[in-house]
A and B are shown apart, each in its own frame.
Chain A
Amino acid sequence: MLNSAPVLELKNISKRFRTLQALDSVDFDLREGETHALCGENGAGKSTLMRILAGIYTEYEGDYILDGQPVRFSSPREALRRGIGMIHQELSVMPELTVAENLFLGRQPLTPFRTVDWRTMNRTAEEELTKLGFAHIDVRRPLAKYPLGTQQVVEVLRVILSGARVLIMDEPTTALSPAEIERLIELIDMLRKGNRSIVYISHFLNEVMRVADRITVLRDGKKVATVDQAETNRDHLISMILGHDAKTEAPLVSIQQHASIMLEIKDLSADVFSHIDLQVGASEIVGLYGAIGAGHFEVARALFGMYQFDSGLITVEGHTYPRNFSARYAIRHGLAYASETRRKSLFLDEPIYKNITLPHLDKVGAVAPRRVREIQFAEPAIHMVNVSPPDPYNPAGKLSGGNQQKVALARWLTLPPKVLVISEPTRGMDIGAKSEVLGILRELAQKGLAVLVASSEPETVLAVADRVVVMSRGTITAQMENKNLDKEILMRLI
């Protein structure tokens, strides 16, 4: 039962990445038939701990004890052989193969002629699925024919069938619909009854409270506490996750109360978001906050013509965009966008000035852009955002993350747009770079731009936004002035 000896134990685990202490003397244990949730903010050390458990990180300090024996895995493969399997956030199923093939991936039963024994494979798959209560899944159909929730279930079952007694699930529900989440939770209950142990990582505390037997909270690489589910509640968890002494930065007061509307989104719907209504006024910064997978990054991309939406209207300064408009169209009509993946949005091998002038080459030189004019165009922007070093010939890839972000912003500054949409403006930056980038956003707003910041980092949104719009699973769940808001309030809304 629950008080049985632990299946596995981590003792005094520490892990450093260069200057960052990701984990600091953390203890963790997992009992047989237990679902043990790991909670904490982004960067608290959940992922690191989980990767050590799964054998992905092999360099760390401390002891890993499995069935009473110290172990040291050299690969995830070895961990799986010893019964520890992991379900990644991005599914690793093969949609083109049948359900049965996915279940037996890499260990298909063979005939004496070394070909795949389809009959045995399909029969065994059917038996196993029936045993676990998923008899309605046709093992002969390609997995792609089933919704994401079923694919997730198949991935879980695959790991179970390959002999895992311990299952590590990393944010398993971010992309699932509510009904699919119910089914996944049922599956977890069933696995628990079958004496499997589960490490469950999720941002969604409601889910955590439903599935977990025990909950371990991490903060800044340290373990805060391990508590029984019955002894805690959501509010208690939130205060442990944030730390009682957590003080959020003083909220900004809206500069203009009734700003003229620059960006208006009406009833925008696509596959991952629906009925989005949103307005951003001149000189206003609106934070679009949501957990990863909430659909807010897709909304941002849709505004730039980079994500296809099914219905709805986008209006910039009174001008409504046509259906299927291009990024070029958006740029010409006053909207600029910087994506959350700088690696994908900058040319890292190319000099800074080329990164800055590319969207405006038609204005730098209608046919032939001359380098002198390009530099003239790029240099003021480089200085405006304080890129360091301010050498326009330096390849963008040689800059630090913060400076790359400044370049991504700088490209829109020489010919300022009406509306700036930026996703995750400060991800992966140090404190100094963060405040610099946020400062630039504020400056732009003061110059009259409407700024929409899509982010999954509550600190970012709270630090920069005049108004906060919260998205959860594709819909807007709350809109409010950024006054007396704190992380706690935001975390309750997702």
Chain B
Amino acid sequence: MSVDSPSIPAADSRQRQQTSLELWVGRLTSLAPLWTLLALGIFFGVVSGGNFLRSVNLNNILVQSSTLGILATGMTFVLLTGEIDLSIAAVMGLTGMIAAQLYTTLGFPEPLATILALGAATFLGFISGFISMRFRIPTFMTTLAMSMIADGLNQWISGGKTVFELSNLVQFLGSGRIGGETSILRVITVVAVIILLIGFLILRFTRFGRYVYMTGASKSAARLAGVNTNLIIIACLTISSFLAGVAGIVNMGRLGSALPLSIPSYLIETIAAVVLGGTALTGGRGSMLFTALGVLIYQTLRNGLDNMTSIDNFMKVFITGLVLLVALIVNVVFSGRAERDKSQ
């Protein structure tokens, strides 16, 4: 095209020429989560005398990562817009319970029970987002309220009782194996991988994905470019809630029962995993691939510590916290996110 304007390259740019060494250091450090994961794997492999690296155990990590991976996919969408969803653990519990009650108590056919339960989860996410945007309430508060609402509904619907009778579909999703009973490949892992992959494709390649990033990078700039940031945020909270519902269904199948209470640790673990993967809480930065890495880092840490019989069980949570902190520092420092401009 019109190359007829021979302006001197870089004449007006404030960019400093980078040496090839700096470029390589930049490329390597931007993969910090990957190195963290490898370092953890090697460390636990060595201290466990190779036990940690046995395929059975590695597969365990994948299975353990699955529920978290599904939750983290939704949370990545939300955090990328610079918002947060605190209701995922509660919505997850509620969705499982709705599905179980519809099937067991009311005799709804499968998969209708599951679809209705997922519909409820989706609706709750939409409501959080809509109220936040319509009344300009921080998502921090609306989703916190939604978390209590979902927990309350869960207890109310269940009457405080655990449901042990699950449909075949739910059991298949949660604890089924692909390729017969002896196969190592779990359905739950495949579901998680597919969801992460779809999330990746949407964020990376679609118009909607671009809007999500830009909304998080600068809401004002996005609005000035005609992006309906409110709609994008509502959509992300809806996605997050829907995926929390999916996680609730498969996790129920994995545990074999629907609990009348949510498991609150899932919320913190999800946020930790996404941030470990380098997604900024302020929005605009991060990717689904790194979220997957973050989930694996977190579960590797948990699994590795569980396999170290020499450590007092009661110390493990403490150590998890410490290692998390270090990993966060490393990720932030190496991704070059320490700001030069102190007013930012």
Task: Evaluate contact between B228 and A328: CB separation under 8 angstroms.
Answer: yes
Asked if A399 lies at the interface with its beta carbon under 8 angstroms from chain B, I say: yes
Task: Evaluate contact between B12 and A306: CB separation under 8 angstroms.
Answer: no
Task: Evaluate contact between A347 and B218: CB separation under 8 angstroms.
Answer: yes
Which residues A326-355 have CB closer than 8 A to chain B?
326-328, 330-331, 337, 339, 344-347, 349-350, 354
Contact partner, B221, options A330, A347, A380, Cβ 8 Å: A347
Task: Evaluate contact between B224 and A344: CB separation under 8 angstroms.
Answer: yes
CA distance A402 to B205 in the complex (A): 31
Asked if A186 lies at the interface with its beta carbon under 8 angstroms from chain B, I say: no
Residues of A within 8 A of B3 (CB): 383
Which residues B206-229 have CB closer than 8 A to chain A?
206-207, 210-211, 214, 217-218, 220-228
Asked if B277 lies at the interface with its beta carbon under 8 angstroms from chain A, I say: no
Question: Given the known A-B contacts A379-B1, A399-B12, A400-B12, are A337 and B224 also in contact in the complex, defined by CB atoms under 8 Å?
Answer: yes
| CB pairs A–B below 8 angstroms (16 shown) | A306-B223, A326-B226, A326-B228, A327-B226, A328-B227, A337-B224, A347-B217, A349-B284, A362-B207, A368-B206, A389-B9, A389-B10, A390-B7, A391-B9, A394-B13, A399-B13
Q: Which partner residue on chain B sits nearest A357 by CB separation? A: B210
Asked if B338 lies at the interface with its beta carbon under 8 angstroms from chain A, I say: no
Residues of A within 8 A of B1 (CB): 379-380, 383
Residues of B within 8 A of A359 (CB): 225-226
Contact partner, A367, options B11, B12, B207, B223, Cβ 8 Å: B207
Asked if B310 lies at the interface with its beta carbon under 8 angstroms from chain A, I say: no
Asked if A91 lies at the interface with its beta carbon under 8 angstroms from chain B, I say: no
Task: Evaluate contact between A394 and B12: CB separation under 8 angstroms.
Answer: no
Task: Evaluate contact between B10 and A358: CB separation under 8 angstroms.
Answer: no
Question: Given the known A-B contacts A327-B223, A344-B221, A383-B1, are A358 and B13 also in contact in the complex, defined by CB atoms under 8 Å?
Answer: no
What is the CB-to-nearest-CB distance from A265 to chain B, in angstroms, rounded to a whole number? 20
Residues of B within 8 A of A402 (CB): 12
Residues of B within 8 A of A366 (CB): 207
Task: Evaluate contact between A350 and B12: CB separation under 8 angstroms.
Answer: no
What is the CB-to-nearest-CB distance from B231 to chain A, in angstroms, rounded to a whole number? 10
Asked if A274 lies at the interface with its beta carbon under 8 angstroms from chain B, I say: no
Q: Which partner residue on chain B sits nearest A350 by CB separation? A: B217
Q: Which partner residue on chain A sits nearest B201 by CB separation? A: A368
Residues of B within 8 A of A358 (CB): 210, 214, 222, 225-227
Task: Evaluate contact between B217 and A383: CB separation under 8 angstroms.
Answer: no
Q: Which partner residue on chain A sits nearest B10 by CB separation? A: A389
Which residues B9-25 have CB closer than 8 A to chain A?
9-15
What is the CB-to-nearest-CB distance from A370 to chain B, in angstroms, rounded to a whole number? 8
Which residues B261-285 have CB closer than 8 A to chain A?
284
Task: Evaluate contact between A388 and B7: CB separation under 8 angstroms.
Answer: yes
Q: How many residues of A contact B (CB 8 A)?
A: 41
Given A306-B223, A337-B224, A358-B225, 9 further pairs, Cβ under 8 A = A346-B221, A354-B210, A361-B210, A361-B211, A365-B207, A380-B1, A386-B7, A394-B13, A403-B12
Task: Evaluate contact between A389 and B12: CB separation under 8 angstroms.
Answer: yes
Which residues A372-425 have CB closer than 8 A to chain B?
379-380, 383-384, 386, 388-391, 394, 398-400, 402-403, 411
What is the CB-to-nearest-CB distance from A414 to chain B, in angstroms, rounded to a whole number? 12
Asked if B55 lies at the interface with its beta carbon under 8 angstroms from chain A, I say: no
Question: Given the known A-B contacts A361-B210, A380-B2, A383-B1, are A398 and B225 also in contact in the complex, defined by CB atoms under 8 Å?
Answer: no
The 7 closest A-B pairs by CB, nearest first: A388-B12, A358-B225, A344-B220, A359-B225, A328-B226, A345-B224, A327-B226
Task: Evaluate contact between B11 and A388: CB separation under 8 angstroms.
Answer: yes
Residues of B within 8 A of A399 (CB): 12-14
What is the CB-to-nearest-CB distance from A348 to chain B, in angstroms, rounded to a whole number? 8
CA distance A398 to B13 in the complex (A): 6
What is the CB-to-nearest-CB distance from A69 to chain B, in angstroms, rounded to a whole number? 34
Residues of A within 8 A of B220 (CB): 344-345
Asked if A163 lies at the interface with its beta carbon under 8 angstroms from chain B, I say: no
Residues of A within 8 A of B183 (CB): none
Q: Which partner residue on chain B sits nearest A399 by CB separation? A: B13
CA distance A300 to B11 in the complex (A): 33
CA distance A389 to B14 in the complex (A): 10
Q: Which partner residue on chain B sits nearest A432 by CB separation? A: B12
Asked if B309 lies at the interface with its beta carbon under 8 angstroms from chain A, I say: no
Asked if A147 lies at the interface with its beta carbon under 8 angstroms from chain B, I say: no
Residues of B within 8 A of A304 (CB): 224
User: Which of A354, A361, A367, A386 has the largest number of chain B CB atoms within 10 A?
Assistant: A361
Asked if A369 lies at the interface with its beta carbon under 8 angstroms from chain B, I say: yes
Asked if B5 lies at the interface with its beta carbon under 8 angstroms from chain A, I say: yes
Task: Evaluate contact between B224 and A361: CB separation under 8 angstroms.
Answer: no
Residues of B within 8 A of A362 (CB): 207
Residues of A within 8 A of B284 (CB): 349
Cβ contacts A311-332/B at 8 Å (1 or 0 each): 0000000000000001110110
What is the CB-to-nearest-CB distance from B235 to chain A, in angstroms, rounded to a whole number? 15
Which residues B34-77 have CB closer than 8 A to chain A?
none
